[in-house]
Structure 1
Amino acid sequence: MTTTEQDTGTTEEQATAAGSGLNATATFARKERGSSGPVDHDRVSTIAKDALGALHEVIRRHQVTYEEYDALKAWLISVGETGEWPLFLDVFVEHVVEEVAHADRKGAVGTIEGPYYIPGAPEFASEAEVPMRDDEAGTPLLFQGTVSDLDGTPLENALVELWHADDAGYYSQFAPGIPEWNLRAQIRTGADGHYAFHTIQPAPYQIPTDGSCGRLIAAAGWHPWRPAHLHLKVTAEGKAPVTTQLYFVGGDYTDDDVAQAVKPELMLDPQPASSGAGVQVTYDFPLDPA
């Protein structure tokens, strides 16, 4: 939802799973995807048969009843109606796809993208005051580092994209009442490969629980929380891009993230900022060759 589409009488707290889900679905539909070439029918057949076979085995193992089967059908229909497929897949499935796709990486460690990425954030050179409201809540955070190749040579003109939730756990363009590019920015590195974002430290948040995904979580007795995190995409010419999330040492839910996306290599340990305002942290991105 852009600022021109927002109802100025609404607030972040009125955000719904349906609204967020439909925005995520629309964003995914606009996502640029390269052609995958001719369909490999044998591979589709093998994957589909294995996936269905695994589901069939679950039904047999647990002696699923018709009442449970009908409940599943109704739930699947509701996921589609509320646009929550991107949320469901990104929370419960994507972490395994990412693990398989990037198993041979030697440099910066990736994790899930999640459903809330929007391309085209305001771009800056080397250092940026991330767009935010004048009264933005949260601890000031200086997040900085260097983009390099695997040998440590700095990469000039690398693009570092940053986006994250606000202190209440909401993302701009996915909840009403938030400026369009709030807490979203991208930086082009200089000759020294350095980047520096001046932002705020986000808080843990619940994934939307008033819709279909929330009903699944409640029925299973799981918790819906994600640990506080920063989202990053880092790209450079001739290098393999990395998409990741960075978490905070000692933060809540880092040991039992609902999305299972936390990795030891992705932990930040902020220290008091040298400026005296808030905290700061340094995190470098060595990139694999493309």
Structure 2
Amino acid sequence: MSETTLKATAAASGASATERFLTDKTVSSGPGTDTSRVNTLAAEVITAVHDVIRQHQVTYEEYNALKSWLISVGQDGEWPLFLDVWVEHVVEEVAGAARKGTKGTIEGPYYVPGAPALPSVATLPMRENEAGTPLLFQGQVTDVSGQPLAGALLEMWQADDDGLYAQFAPGITEWNLRGSVVADAEGRFAVTTVQPAPYQIPTDGSCGRLIAAAGWHAWRPAHLHLKVSAPDHEALTTQLYFKGGEHIEDDVASAVKPELVLDPRPNVEGVHAVTYDFVLDPVV
């Protein structure tokens, strides 16, 4: 394990994720205008907590441990991590239920907008002698009728061979393994990168303490992140995994779907290559 890996702490990653979320997301400063909706959701969540307390006869000692832990999640800056790992996959499931095109999954806490623009045939920015198995990722973006979507945008980001993300771990160049690829007139793209590694979510903070206390594991399978968009079509956020990879069956974030598993094979040049096409739904 590299020195860089050892310095990628939960506190630093959590603080970066929180700062990015507050800077980059459009977040309402209030609960919203539909008070009846807020009333319904908040009341049912609180009632569900009450039900758990009654069902399991929660003690004051356990309650105070929970209270202390919730406070520490905020102090560690780990709310984005906690929500993205254990809650977001269900929100995405509800939001994407009517999707006819490519399946989506969670965004996670490590997206950064504004990655360098790249042509349809490109190599993601990477360090000299970047570790990892070279990967050619190619395909086409179409609409649900099969018509190509010229100039579709594919924002890509991924962990490196140590399982670390640029801008969230020290010692990595700013846009390493991040890029905004513009598909050609036929919606086609071909991106050279490296296959990412499985990684543990940060475990030296509050989320790690929960994992240890519950006897869970903290691993995510290797994956590519993508946001795919085109005018007049619904933007797609997804992750693509690798057949036979570790933790495909027990992802800590419960984000793997069978439709999102890649199976790269060596091409005639001996490079691991995979073709994956994206289908975008029209904006309704």
269, 272, 282: which one aligns with 1:279:
272
77, 102, 113: which one aligns with 2:107:
113
Q: Structure 2 CA distance, aligned partners of 1:97 and 1:91? A: 11
Q: Which amino acid aligns with 1:221?
A: G
1:198 partner SS? strand
90, 96, 100: which one aligns with 2:94:
100
User: 1:275 deviation in Å?
Assistant: 2.4
Q: Which amino acid aligns with 2:261?
A: M
Counterpart of 1:149? 143
Counterpart of 2:70? 76
Counterpart of 1:265? 259
Q: 1:268 to 1:23 in 2, by over 3 A?
A: same
Counterpart of 1:253? 247
Counterpart of 1:227? 221
Q: CA contact under 8 A between 1:142 and 1:273: conserved in structure 2?
A: no
Query: How high is the sequence identity, in percent, across the aligned residues?
Result: 65
Gaps of 5+ in 2: none
Counterpart of 2:33? 39
1:171 aligns with 2:165: yes
Counterpart of 2:6? 13
Q: Structure 2 CA distance, aligned partners of 1:182 and 1:98? A: 27
User: 1:38 deviation in Å?
Assistant: 5.5
Q: Which amino acid aligns with 2:183?
A: T
Q: Structure 2 CA distance, aligned partners of 1:112 and 1:214? A: 20
Q: CA contact under 8 A between 2:31 and 2:38: conserved in structure 1?
A: no
Q: Structure 2 CA distance, aligned partners of 1:14 and 1:228? A: 21
Q: Which amino acid aligns with 1:68?
A: E
1:128 partner SS? strand
User: 1:254 deviation in Å?
Assistant: 0.5
Q: Structure 2 CA distance, aligned partners of 1:44 and 1:196? A: 45
Q: Compute the TM-score of the two structures, normalised by the length of structure 2.
A: 0.96
User: 1:124 deviation in Å?
Assistant: 1.1
Q: 1:38 to 1:28 in 2, by over 3 A?
A: closer
Q: Structure 1 CA distance, aligned partners of 2:248 and 2:32? A: 41
Counterpart of 1:197? 191
2:113 partner SS? coil
User: 1:155 deviation in Å?
Assistant: 0.5
Q: CA contact under 8 A between 1:232 and 1:244: conserved in structure 2?
A: yes
Q: Compute the TM-score of the two structures, normalised by the length of structure 1.
A: 0.94
User: 1:37 deviation in Å?
Assistant: 10
1:122 aligns with 2:116: yes
Count of residues paired in the alignment: 280
Counterpart of 1:3? none
Gaps of 5+ in 1: 1-9
Q: Structure 2 CA distance, aligned partners of 1:125 and 1:153? A: 20
User: 1:13 deviation in Å?
Assistant: 2.3
Q: Which amino acid aligns with 2:22?
A: A
Q: Structure 1 CA distance, aligned partners of 2:186 and 2:163? A: 34
Counterpart of 1:6? none
Q: Which amino acid aligns with 1:226?
A: R
User: 1:190 deviation in Å?
Assistant: 1.3
- 1:199-218 → structure 2 map (5 Å cutoff): 199-218=193-212
Q: Structure 1 CA distance, aligned partners of 2:18 and 2:136? A: 32
15, 20, 23: which one aligns with 1:22:
15
Deviations along 1:123-182, one digit per CA (max 9) or x if unpaired, are 112111111110211000000110000111110111001100001100000000000000
Q: Which amino acid aligns with 2:136?
A: L
Counterpart of 1:5? none
Counterpart of 1:65? 59
1:186 aligns with 2:180: yes
User: 1:34 deviation in Å?
Assistant: 7.5
Q: Which amino acid aligns with 2:130?
A: E
User: 1:186 deviation in Å?
Assistant: 1.1
Q: 1:34 to 1:80 in 2, by over 3 A?
A: closer
